[in-house]
A and B are shown apart, each in its own frame.
Chain A
Amino acid sequence: MTGRTTIGPVQILGTAFFSTHHASAEDALAGRERPFTPPAYQLLVGRARRFTSLVTQMHIEVCGAVSPDPADPPMAVFATRHGEIQTAERLIADFRETRAVSSARFALSVHNTASGVYSVATGSRAATTTVTGANAIAAGWLEASLTVIQTERTVLLSIADEPLPAVFCGPVASSGVAAAFLLGAASRAGRRVELAIAPGLDDPELDPLQVLARGAQAAGRPEAATVALGRIQPGAVLALRFPSSEASA
C-alpha cells in the first residue's frame, strides 16, 4: 500500500527567526556572525522572567514576534531536540554536589517548559504539545501542519534549541537558534507551503541553524524553494516546498 507523500498546503501567516550569534536568517546563511546577543523575550515580565533558560527565552522571543491574535489564541506546537538541557546539567550538578536541587530550577526543567511559560504569559488555554528527538524540526512541522489541516484553525509552531553543554559530548552548536511560524488553513492569505516526504538519507545530520534560517528566509521571499527538514521515517526526509508566489496566487 502506498501512502501520502505530500501534506498541505498550509499558509504561513507570520515568521520570526532568532539566533544568539546572527542578526537575521540571511546573516546566518551568509555566515555573518555577531557577538552573543540574548533574546529580549518581552512577553515575559517581572517574576516570570526569572529562572527561564536560554531555550525558553528564545521560544518566547519568536512566539512574541509572530504576534498571534490574542483574542483567538492558537493551538501551539513547540519543538526542541535538547529541551532544557542546560537546566538538566545544573540539576545533576546540584544533587551531585549538595544532595539537593533548586525547586525553581526543577519546576522549569521539563521539555514543555516553554509552552507552559507561553500559555501563562498570554493567558492561552489552547492545546499545546512539545515534539522532541533528533527529528524535532521535521516532526514539529508535521504535527503543526496536520493540526492546521484537521482543525482549520491557526497553529503556532515554535522551534528552538540552546547549545549543548560540552559535558554531554553531543552535537556541537555555537549559537542558540529559534524560529516561529504562524500557520493557517489553505484558505487564508499568506505564504503557501506544502510538506513533502521524499526518499532520503537515513540519518541526515542537518544543521538546525541552517534549516531554520532557510525556512524563515523562504517564507519571506516569493521565489520557489525547497527546504529539507530532516528524517521523518526510515529512509525518508520531510521537506518544505514553497511554490513561487506567482504560481500560488
Chain B
Amino acid sequence: MTRGYPITAVAIANCLGTDNRTVFERAFAGADAFSPASDFYEFPFATVLGIMPGLPTSGVAWSAQGLDCIPTRLATVLLPSVRQLRPAVRAAVDRWGARRVAYVFASSTGGLEETERSLAPDPRLPLSSAGYRYVDHGIDAASAAVAHHLGVDGVCMAISTACSSSFNALASAIRLIDGGLADAAVVGSADSLCRTTIFGFHSLGLTAPTAMRPFARDRAGITLGEGSAFVLIERDAEATRRHALGWVTGIAAASDAFHHTSPHPEGIGGQICMRQALDRAGLTPNEIDYVSAHGTGTRLNDAVEAAAVRQVFERRVPMTATKSLTGHTLGSAGLTALILAVESLRRQEIPATLRAAPPDDSLGVAVVGELLRVRMQHVLVNAFGFGGSNVSVVVSRPSAEPS
C-alpha cells in the first residue's frame, strides 16, 4: 500500500454505552461495564458478559424502531451505530453519489440469536414480535435495511471470518475503492450475545468465570460481549483529508495453517500479518507507538500473541487489550479496537487494560495497566480468529497522513 485511506467517521456501541461519547469517556476512564450473565440468560456455569445497555431482558419484543427492519437483537445492537454514522454517510453520498458508496458488513453470528429464540424458545427471553423468518438469520440479515437507512446504493456485501470478520470487511472495502467500484465505503460490524456462542466457548474451556484479565498471571479466559462498530472510509482526496479522524495506512491478513481453534504456537500467522501491515504502511516496528492486542484473556491466546509481538517488534512495545473494557464482541472486535485506537490517537492516551495485574512476566510484553499519556502517531491493531484467520491494521493519526 503506497497511500492510506481516511477514516472520516466512526460509530461505536457496546457494553460501555450506546454512543461514541459515552463509550470513549468510559473506556478512557477505565470503567468496568461487565454484568452478571444472568442478566442475559441463566447458564449452568459461572461467567460474566458485556451486555449492551438498554436492551430488554425478558418477556418483551426487541425494538429496532427507526431502522425499518426486523426487530432482532442484532438490529437493536446495530441501530445506535447506524444512527450516529448517518450524518457523515449523507455527506459522503453528497460528495460521491449514492451508488459510489459501498456497504460492507461483518459479523460472526449475524441473526443467530433470533434463530435460537425460534428453535429453542425460553420464557425468560424476549419474544420476537414479527415471528421467525430465515432472512433474519443470516450474517447479512439487516444489511439491506441499514444500507437503505443510510441512503447508500453502492456495492453491498457481507464477510464472516469469526473474530477477524470486521478487519476482513475493511480489507474488502479498500479493494472496492482501489478497484474503482466505490469512492467511499461504510464498513459495519455487529454481533449480539447469543446462547450458541456462550455455550460454545464454554465447551472449549475458554469463558472466564469472572471478568476477563488479559495478559494477567491468573487470566482464565474470555468475557463475551456484544456491540457494533462502524467506520466510514473514503478515497484520499482534498475533501476527505480535511475530515479524517485517522488513516488506515496498512492492512494485511495471513493464515496460521495450524489448527481450527488453537493458534500456531509461535503465532506465525500473526507475525506475518503484522509484518506485512507494517510494510504496507511503510513503517518500521519502532515507529509503532503501541499494539492494540487481540488480547482475549485465554492462557494460550495471550501467550502466543505476546510471543508473536516479541518476534516482530524486538522491544517491549506497549500493548493494551481493549476487550477488558468492551468484552469480546466477536465479528465486531477488530473495528471496536480500531475505533478506540483512533480515539486514543486523538486524545494521545492509551487506554488501560483492566485487571492485568499481577502481570504475567513470562510473556515478556509491556501491558499498559493504567491510562498512559504519550505522544503517538501510529497504532497496530490485531484481530485473530477461529480458522487461523489473522488480520492486522495500522491506523495513523491525521497529522501523520501519507503525503
CA distance A76 to B117 in the complex (A): 34
Contact of B269 with A107 in the complex, beta carbons under 8 Å: no
Contact of A142 with B180 in the complex, beta carbons under 8 Å: no
Contact of B138 with A95 in the complex, beta carbons under 8 Å: no
Q: B44, B138, B196, B258: which contacts A120 (Cβ < 8 A)?
A: B258
Query: Is chain B's binding surface mostly helix, strand, loop or mixed?
Result: mixed
Residues of chain A lying within 8 A (CB to CB) of residue B269: 125
Contact of A7 with B181 in the complex, beta carbons under 8 Å: yes
B175 and chain A: residue at smallest CB distance? A146
B200 and chain A: residue at smallest CB distance? A106
Chain A 1-47 residues near chain B, CB threshold 8 A: 1, 3-4, 7
Residues of chain A lying within 8 A (CB to CB) of residue B200: 91, 101, 103, 106, 109
B157 and chain A: residue at smallest CB distance? A139
CB distance from A90 to the nearest CB of B (A): 10
B98 and chain A: residue at smallest CB distance? A234
Residues of chain B lying within 8 A (CB to CB) of residue A102: 203
Residues of chain B lying within 8 A (CB to CB) of residue A167: 119
CB distance from B252 to the nearest CB of A (A): 7
Classify chain A's interface size. Answer: 35 or more
Q: A101-B196, A106-B204 are in contact. Are A139 and B137 (CB under 8 A)?
A: no
Contact of A119 with B153 in the complex, beta carbons under 8 Å: no
CB distance from B71 to the nearest CB of A (A): 18
Contact of A168 with B260 in the complex, beta carbons under 8 Å: no
1/0 per position for B126-161, CB-CB distance to A under 8 A? 000000111101111001000100000111111111
Q: A106-B200, A128-B389 are in contact. Are A142 and B157 (CB under 8 A)?
A: yes
1/0 per position for A125-139, CB-CB distance to B under 8 A? 111111111111001
Size of the chain B interface, CB-CB below 8 angstroms: 71
B256 is an interface residue with CB less than 8 A from chain A: yes
Stretch of B46-54, B311-319, B380-388 that contacts chain A = B380-388
A94 and chain B: residue at smallest CB distance? B199
Contact of B387 with A133 in the complex, beta carbons under 8 Å: no
A235 is an interface residue with CB less than 8 A from chain B: yes
Residues of chain A lying within 8 A (CB to CB) of residue B156: 135, 231-234
Contact of A120 with B199 in the complex, beta carbons under 8 Å: no
A100 is an interface residue with CB less than 8 A from chain B: yes
1/0 per position for A73-117, CB-CB distance to B under 8 A? 000000001110000110111111001111100111111110111
Stretch of B108-116, B236-244, B356-364 that contacts chain A = B108-116
Contact of A128 with B162 in the complex, beta carbons under 8 Å: no
CA distance A88 to B139 in the complex (A): 13
Contact of B204 with A96 in the complex, beta carbons under 8 Å: no
Residues of chain A lying within 8 A (CB to CB) of residue B90: none
Contact of A101 with B199 in the complex, beta carbons under 8 Å: yes
B198 and chain A: residue at smallest CB distance? A95
A247 is an interface residue with CB less than 8 A from chain B: no
Q: A100-B203, A111-B160 are in contact. Are A143 and B172 (CB under 8 A)?
A: yes
CB distance from A81 to the nearest CB of B (A): 7
Residues of chain B lying within 8 A (CB to CB) of residue A234: 147, 153, 156
B178 is an interface residue with CB less than 8 A from chain A: yes
Query: Is chain A's binding surface mostly helix, strand, loop or mixed?
Result: mixed
Residues of chain A lying within 8 A (CB to CB) of residue B320: none
Q: A107, A131, A142: which contacts B159 (Cβ < 8 A)?
A: A131
Contact of A125 with B256 in the complex, beta carbons under 8 Å: yes
Contact of A110 with B162 in the complex, beta carbons under 8 Å: yes
Contact of A103 with B143 in the complex, beta carbons under 8 Å: no
CA distance A94 to B196 in the complex (A): 9
CA distance A231 to B99 in the complex (A): 14
1/0 per position for B327-366, CB-CB distance to A under 8 A? 0000000000000000000000000000000000000000
Residues of chain B lying within 8 A (CB to CB) of residue A115: 161, 255, 387, 389
1/0 per position for A213-236, CB-CB distance to B under 8 A? 000000000000000000111110
Contact of B257 with A124 in the complex, beta carbons under 8 Å: yes
A187 is an interface residue with CB less than 8 A from chain B: no
CB distance from A154 to the nearest CB of B (A): 16
Q: A133-B138, A167-B119 are in contact. Are A128 and B253 (CB under 8 A)?
A: yes
CA distance A191 to B140 in the complex (A): 32
CA distance A109 to B137 in the complex (A): 15
Contact of A169 with B133 in the complex, beta carbons under 8 Å: yes
Residues of chain A lying within 8 A (CB to CB) of residue B96: 1
Chain B 62-111 residues near chain A, CB threshold 8 A: 96-97, 99-100, 102, 105, 108
Point out which of B157, B258, B268 has the most chain A C-beta atoms below 10 A from its C-beta. B157
Residues of chain B lying within 8 A (CB to CB) of residue A108: 260
Contact of A132 with B160 in the complex, beta carbons under 8 Å: yes
Residues of chain A lying within 8 A (CB to CB) of residue B158: 131-133, 136, 139
B97 and chain A: residue at smallest CB distance? A1
B171 is an interface residue with CB less than 8 A from chain A: yes
Q: B105, B112, B386: which contacts A107 (Cβ < 8 A)?
A: B386
CB distance from A23 to the nearest CB of B (A): 30
CA distance A88 to B143 in the complex (A): 21
Can you offer 11 A-B residue contacts whose CB atoms are under 8 A? A1-B97, A82-B138, A92-B120, A111-B108, A115-B387, A115-B389, A116-B387, A132-B138, A147-B175, A150-B178, A167-B119
Q: Which 9 pairs from chain A and chain B are nearest by CB?
A: A116-B387, A170-B134, A133-B140, A106-B200, A111-B160, A133-B158, A127-B253, A139-B157, A96-B120
Which residues of B line the A interface, CB within 8 A?
Answer: 44, 96-97, 99-100, 102, 105, 108, 112, 115-116, 119-120, 132-135, 137-140, 143, 147, 153-162, 168, 171-172, 175-176, 178-183, 195-196, 199-201, 203-205, 252-261, 268-269, 272-273, 385-389
* Given A106-B203, A130-B160, A170-B137, 4 further pairs, Cβ under 8 A: A120-B260, A128-B387, A130-B168, A168-B137
